[in-house]
Amino acid sequence: MSQGPTARLLLSAPDRPGLVAAIANFIYDNAGDVTQADQHTDEEEGMFFQRVEFRLEGFKLSREEIPAALGEVAAPLQMAWRVRYSDEDRRVAVLASRQPHCLVDLLGRWHCGELPGRLVMVASNHPDHAELVQRFGLPYHYLPVTPESRSRQEQALLGLLAEAKVELVVLARYMQILSDRFIERYPSAIINIHHSFLPAFSGGHPYHQAHARGVKLIGATAHYATAELDEGPIIEQDTARVSHRDGVADLARTGRDLETVVLARAVRLHLTDRVLVHGRKTIVFA
C-alpha cells in the first residue's frame, strides 16, 4: 500500500482563512499525492494545526527544495512548520533504572521491527541490565549517581547522547530527576512514563498513593518532560480496572502492562511525527 518514502508536514499558525487552501495548493501544484491529512482548529486559542503526509515519489520538489518552497508559502501566513521524512534515521536512547519492564518491552519491539526508529544506546544508573542490552547488540552505559556526582553524571550522559546523535530520549522508568539544563537540551524530545493517571498521584510512589486512596482504576501517562516535574504535555494515557483485592504489588503488576503499552504508543506517535506541542498540551494526529 504505502510504497516509497513520504514527507510529513506539521504546521501551526494563528487561525485565518486560506490556510488549508494554501497548503492544498502547494501540494497540488507540485503533484503531491497525499496519503493522510488531519487538521485541528483550536477556537479558544485562535490556532490552526495541520499534519499532511504525502509521497515523495512523483513530487516535483526534491527534499532539498522543499524547505525554501514551503517557507515562501508559510511566511506570509505566519505558519510555523517542520517537515520530516518517513525514511529518516531516528536515533533513540532509552534511560532506565532498576525496573526492567519498559526497557525490555522497547527492546522487544525494536527486535520485532515495531519501533519506527533506531535504538542506539541504553543508559542507566544501575548495572542490572547490561547483559540483556548487550545481548541485543546495543551499548549499555552504566552511569551511577550519588548526590555529589549528579551533575557530573548528567554531563557524561549528555556527552554520550550527543556522540550517539540521539534525537529522542525515552525515560523508561528512569527514576532520576533531570536538570533544567538537560531538559532544555531536548525540547519536546524527552518522553517520560509516569505510573499514574496524571494529574492524580504525581510525585513519588503513585501505586502506594492509589492504594491508600482506594481508587477503582489505575492509570499510566506518557508525557514530554519539562522543567516542572510530572507537568509536561501529555501524549497518551490509559487506565485499567483494579479492586479492593489488589495490594500495592498487584497494582504495580497490572500497571506494568499499562506503562509499557502507553509508553510504546507515545514513542510511536512521536517518531511518526503525529504530535504537536502547544503550550502545555499536545495535538495528537493519531
Residues recognised as catalytic: 230
CB of 134: closest distance to its own copies in angstroms? 9
Is residue 75 involved in binding its own copies (CB under 8 A)? no
Q: 149-208: which residues touch its own copies (CB under 8 A)?
A: 197-201
Q: What is the signed CA dihedral for 199, 205, 207, 208, rounded to 10 degrees? A: -120
x-or-dash string of contact with its own copies, 117-156, rule CB under 8 A: ---------------x--xx--------------------
Nearest to 96 by CA among 193, 202, 165: 193
Nearest to 119 by CA among 163, 164, 173: 164
Nine cell digits for residue 83: 517537515
Q: Strand pairing of 33-42 and 47-55?
A: antiparallel
Instruction: Tell me if residue 232 falls in helix, strand or coil.
Output: coil
Q: Please identify which residue in 149, 215, 229, 230 interacts with its own copies, judged by CB under 8 A.
A: 215
Q: 2-61: which residues touch its own copies (CB under 8 A)?
A: 2, 17-18, 20-21, 24-25, 27-28, 31-44
Q: 237-276: which residues touch its own copies (CB under 8 A)?
A: 237-239, 241, 243-245, 247, 249, 253, 256-257, 261, 264
Of 5 and 199, which CB lies nearer to its own copies in the complex structure?
A: 199
The DSSP secondary-structure symbol of 177 reads: P
In terms of DSSP H, where are the helices of the chain? 19-29, 66-74, 101-111, 130-135, 150-163, 180-185, 206-213, 248-271
What's the CA angle centered on 167, arms 13 and 182, to 5 degrees? 95
Of 148 and 244, which CB lies nearer to its own copies in the complex structure?
A: 244
Q: 82-111: which residues touch its own copies (CB under 8 A)?
A: 100-101, 104-105, 107-108, 111
Q: How many CB atoms lie within 10 A of CB 34?
A: 15
CB of 143: closest distance to its own copies in angstroms? 22
Of 32 and 117, which CB lies nearer to its own copies in the complex structure?
A: 32
Query: Segment near its own copies (CB under 8 A), from 75-83, 118-126, 164-172, 211-219?
Result: 211-219
